[in-house]
Amino acid sequence: MSPPAYRASRNPGVCAARPLICKRGAPHPARPSRRHANEGSVVTSIDLPSLYLEHPDRNLALELVRATEAAAIRAWPYIGKGDKLAADGAAVDAMRLLLGTVNFDGVVVIGEGEKDKAPMLFNGEHVGNGRGPACDIAVDPIDGTSLTAAGRPNAISVMAVSDRGSMLDASSVFYMDKIVTGAEGIGVVDIRKPIGENIRALAKAKGKDVSEMKIAVLDRPRHAQLIDEIRASGAGTRLLLDGDVAGGINAARYETRTDMCVGIGGSPEGIVTACAIKALGGFIQGILRPGNDDERQRGIDAGLKMDHVYEANDLVSSDNTFFVATGVTDGGLVNGVRRKGPIIRTESIVLRSHSGTIRRIVADHQADKWL
C-alpha cells in the first residue's frame, strides 16, 4: 500500500497532490536513496517504490466488492424465477462493467460458464482499466445459479484476486476432489486417507467427539458412498444443494458448525476457495478429476498433473490473495440481497491473506439507481 503521507496518482510510478515536509538529511520514505539539502523542502512529485505498484494493496478490496455487489443486485430480480441463465447473464454483465473501472490490470485465469454453456467472463479476458498492479482473477458471478433460480439459500457472487502468475489455471479440467478444514487440519488430515480416518483425526485435533462433527458435502449421486462413509464414522452431514465455495469457507471459519467440506466440485470453485483459505489460515487439498480420457489429455497438455495432490500453495502461490463474496440469497456465510423500501441492502465478506483480515460490509444502495 502507499506510504501514509502519500496517495498514488493515476500515472503509475508518480505520487502527487499531497505534499510532505521532509527533515534535513532524512531519506525520503518512498525513495531511500534521495536526500534533501534544505530543511522544510516540499516534495510534490516522486517515484514510488515498485512494491506499491506491482502488488495488489488493501484498497483494491473495496473496489472488488463493488463488482460482486453489482452482480448480486442484478441477479436479485431473477431469484426464484427458474431461469438460471438469465440470472447468470445479468450478474456477468454487471460484474464485467464494474471491473472495467477498477485500477488494476486483471486477467481472468478461472472463468465460470464453460461447463454449462452459460454466459461468462471468459478465461484470458482482460479486465480493469489497465493501470495499477497486474493480477490473476478467478470469478464466479453467481456460485449457485440453480439455487438462485429456485430461490434457495447460499447463492453468492464471488471473486478472488492474487498476484499475476500465481493462480493455477485448472480450466481444462472441470472437476476437482477437495478437502477443506480450519487450521486444526494442517498436518492432521490428508485427502488420500479414508474419510473416516480423517474425521476421527480432525475430531481429536479439535477436542470434539466424532458424533459432534459436521461434514459438508454436495448432495450428488456421485457422493452416495462418501455420504454413507461419513455417517458410518459417527459424524453428521450437511448436504449442500449447490455452491461448495461457501461450504469450504464455513469449514475453515472458527465460529461455524461445519468442521470439514469434502467431495468433488468445480475446479474453478477450488481455486476461489484456496484464495479464501489462505486468508483464513485453513487447510485445503485438491485432486483433479477429469470426466473422460479426452479431458484428462487436455489437462495433461495444459501442464496439469493428474492424480496429484495440490496443496494450497500449488493452487495459489501468492501470499497476497483477496477473496470477496456478496450474498445473492440468504446463507450461512452472508445474507442475500434485500429490498427495503427505497434501498437495496447487500452484505459482503472480504478476506485478505497478507493481513489476515476478515471484513464484513453491509451496504445500502438507492434502489432507483439500479431498478
3-state class (DSSP) for residue 366: strand
Average pLDDT for residues 22-37, to the nearest whole number?
37
- Which band of pLDDT confidence, cut at 50, 70 and 90, is reported for residue 122? confident
59-163+319-370 fold: Fructose-1,6-Bisphosphatase; Chain A, domain 1 (3.30.540)
Q: Is 96 within any annotated ligand binding site?
A: no
Window from 36-45, 66-75, 250-259 with minimum mean pLDDT:
36-45
Eight-class DSSP state of 369? G
- The residues spanned by each domain of the chain are 59-163+319-370, 168-315
Q: Is 145 within any annotated ligand binding site?
A: yes
Examine the pLDDT at 46 and tell me if it is beyond 50.
no
pLDDT of residue 120: 60
Q: Is 281 within any annotated ligand binding site?
A: no
CATH code of the domain occupying 168-315: 3.40.190.90
Percentage of the chain lying above the pLDDT 70 cut = 82
In terms of DSSP H, where are the helices of the chain? 50-54, 59-75, 84-99, 145-150, 195-206, 224-232, 244-252, 267-280, 293-301, 312-315
What DSSP letter does each residue of 176-241 carry, written as one string? EEEEEE-GGGTTT--TTS-HHHHHHHHHHHHT--GGG-EEEEE--GGGHHHHHHHHHTT-EEEEES
- Which band of pLDDT confidence, cut at 50, 70 and 90, is reported for residue 347? very high
Q: Is 88 within any annotated ligand binding site?
A: yes
- Which band of pLDDT confidence, cut at 50, 70 and 90, is reported for residue 55? low
Q: Is 136 within any annotated ligand binding site?
A: no
- Which band of pLDDT confidence, cut at 50, 70 and 90, is reported for residue 130? confident
Window from 40-54, 294-308, 339-353 with minimum mean pLDDT:
40-54
Q: Is 6 within any annotated ligand binding site?
A: no
pLDDT of residue 252: 94
